[in-house]
Amino acid sequence: MNANAINTSQSQEFIAFACELGVLRFGEFKTKAGRLSPYFFNAGLFYHGAALARLCDFYAQRIIASGISFDILFGPAYKGIPLAAGTAIALSRLGYDTPYAYNRKEAKDHGEGGVLVGAPLRGRVLIIDDVISAGTSVRESVEIIRQAGATPAAVVIALDRQERGEGVLSAVQEVEQSYGLSVLSIARLTDLIHYLSGQPELTQYFSAVSDYRLRYGSE
Question: Pick the catalytic residue: 32, 79, 108, 194?
Answer: 108
> Are the CB atoms for 58 and 83 separated by under 8 Å?
no
Question: Pick the catalytic residue: 30, 48, 79, 110?
Answer: 110
| H-run or E-run covering 152 | strand 151-160
E-only strand ranges, 22-113:
24-30, 36-41, 72-75, 100-108
Alpha helices for 70-181 (secondary structure H): 80-93, 136-147, 171-179
Is 108 labeled as catalytic in the residue annotation? yes
Is 105 labeled as catalytic in the residue annotation? no
Question: How far, in Å, CA of 170 to CA of 1, rounded?
Answer: 24
Question: How far, in Å, CA of 108 to CA of 174, rounded?
Answer: 32
> Are the CB atoms for 60 and 182 separated by under 8 Å?
no
Q: Which residues are catalytic?
A: 108, 110
